[in-house]
Amino acid sequence: MITALAAVFVFMMVIMFHEFGHFITAKMVGIKVHEFAIGMGPRIFHKTKGETEYSIRALPIGGYVKMEGEDESSDDPNSFNKKPIGSRILVVVAGAIMNFILAIIVFGIISYVMGMPTTVIDEVIVDTPAYKAGLEPGDKIINVNNKEINSWNNVIKEINNVEPKKDIEIIVLRGSEKKSFTLKPKFDKETGRYLIGITTKTNKSFTSAVKGGVEKTGEILGAMFEFFRMLVTGEIKKGSLSGPVGVIYTVGQAAKYGFMNILYITGLISVNLGFFNLLPIPALDGGRILFMLIELFRGEPLDPEKEGFIHFVGFVLLIILMIYVTYSDIVKFFG
C-alpha cells in the first residue's frame, strides 16, 4: 500500500509539472488548449473553464495537453501550427524545463532540511588519518593537493583522486592562520571511497538550499549525459535500463526510509524524464523540436502525413523498448 501511494505521488508530481509546463506556455503564447489532463484512461474528474477542460484520469502513468492544431491541420489563428516556430519550440521544451525546475525544488527542500555541507570540519574521528595528522574541529579546508576547494564535494573528489597508498596535502584555515598537513587516506570497503576521518558542518539557509538544488540537478544531468554516451558506445550492460516496474520498485524501497528519500527519487526521475524527452527521437518532445528546426531551415514544414508516420514508428519502437525493459524489470526484481 505504501509503495502504491508513493509511486502515485511520484508519478503525479513529475507528470503534472511536465504537462503544466506545456500548458502554461501554450496559454502564454496564445495557443488554444482544449484539454489539460493528468493521468490516462477514463476520467474520474473534469471541469471546464473557458475554452479548456481540466481532467484527472484513472491511470497515473501519463498525461497530456491537447492543443488546437498540434497533430492536425487547423485554420484557427490560435492553433499550434499557426504560431511562429520560436513559440512552438518554447511550448514543447517547456515540459522538460519544468521537470528540471521540479528537481531543483525537491533537491532544494532536501538541502534545507538536511543542511548543505560546508568545508569546515565538525568532528575529527579518533585514530583516523586526519586525527593522527593533527586536523581539528573548526578547521576550514581551502586546498587539497594544490587544488583550491570551494565545496565539500571538491574535498571528497580530491581525496578520492589520490593514487593508492600515496600521501595528500591538505591546507586549512585555522582562525586567520593557514596550516598544512600531510596524511594518507584510508580505503573504506563499505563506501568504496578513500576516507580521512572527518565530518563536516552543515549550513541551513534559503540561499544554500537553492544552490544545493541547482548543483544536485546539474550533477544528475551530467550523469545522464555520461550514461547516454556509454549507451551509444555500448558500455552499458544488459539489464541496466529500467521501466515503470523498476521505477515503482525503487520508489517502494525509498518509501521504507522516509519522505526525504521519496523526494530524492522524485527529483531523480524528474531530471531523467526531462532529459529523455529532449532526445531527438520521433514521438518525444525532442523529436518534435527536431522537425521544427528542419522546418526553420527549409522554410516550410514537412508533409504532415510523413511526419506523423515517422512519429508513429518512433512511438511503436518506444513501446517495444518499454515492453522489453518491463519484462527485464520483472525478471530482475521478482524473478
Q: Which of 58-72, 92-106, 179-193 has the highest mean pLDDT?
A: 92-106
Partnered with residue 199 across adjacent β-strands are: 123
- 231 vs 62, 153, 212, 277, CA distance in Å? 25, 26, 28, 16
What phi and psi values does residue 328 have, to the nearest 5 degrees? Answer: -60, -40
Q: Give the catalytic positions in this structure.
A: 19
CA 111 to chain centroid = 15
Q: Residue 57 gets which letter from DSSP?
A: E
How many Å separate Cα 124 from the centre of its chain?
34
Average pLDDT, the chain: 84
How far is Cα 100 from Cα 121, in angstroms, rounded to an integer?
32
- Cβ proximity of 92 and 176 under 8 Å: no
Residue 40 banded pLDDT, cuts 50, 70, 90 = confident
CATH superfamily ID and name for 117-203: PDZ domain (2.30.42.10)
pLDDT at residue number 174:
92
| Confidence check: pLDDT of 110 > 80 | yes
**Residues near 218 by Cβ (< 8 Å), separated by ≥ 6?**
none
Q: In this predicted structure, what is the pLDDT of residue 236?
A: 62
- Closest listed residue to residue 325, CA positions, set 249, 254, 217: 249
Calculate mean pLDDT across residues 52-73.
85
More confident residue, 281 or 54: 54
Domain boundaries, the chain: 2-114+217-334, 117-203
Cα–Cα dist 325/26, whole Å: 33
309-335 per-position pLDDT tens digit? 787 887 788 777 767 666 665 666 565
Q: At what angle do helices 259-277 and 206-232 cross, to 10 degrees?
A: 50
Is a pLDDT exceeding 60 seen at residue 245? Answer: no
Average pLDDT over residues 102-119: 90
Instruction: Give the mean pLDDT of 277-298.
Output: 88
**% residues pLDDT > 90 (the chain):** 35
